[in-house]
């Protein structure tokens, strides 16, 4: 199987899934978003943007560039599968 085929067959998930649903209220407050928006982030319905990545970096010690790259890879895989990109 060629490398491109292997890449497209990999499972993809939204960057917010790395956070899990632990401390829902606490993480939402620290990120400056509502609990509903935090749920959307976990589900992939709220895209990680530059502003949010800076807050995520401070909260998780994972670089903003990493969060942006995760979002780009997630959006690319969704497009490949015919699902479009993340909202908002």
Regions of the chain with pLDDT less than 70: 1-13, 18, 20-23, 84-88
Which secondary structure element, helix H or strand E, spans residue 87, and what is its range? none
Alpha helix stretches (DSSP H) within the chain? 3-9, 24-31, 35-43, 50-60, 64-80
Sign of CA dihedral 46, 49, 53, 76: positive
Nearest to 15 by CA among 51, 84, 80, 66: 66
pTM for the full model? 0.70
């Amino acid at each position: 199987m060629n490398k491109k085929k292997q890449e497209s067959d990999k499972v993809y998930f939204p960057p917010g899934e790395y956070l899990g649903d632990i401390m829902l209220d606490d993480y939402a407050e620290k990120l400056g978003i509502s609990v509903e928006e935090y749920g959307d982030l976990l589900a992939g319905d709220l895209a990680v943007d530059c502003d949010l990545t800076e807050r995520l970096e401070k909260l998780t010690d994972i670089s903003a560039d990493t969060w942006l790259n995760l979002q780009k890879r997630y959006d690319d895989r969704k497009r490949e599968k015919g699902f479009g990109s993340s909202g908002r």
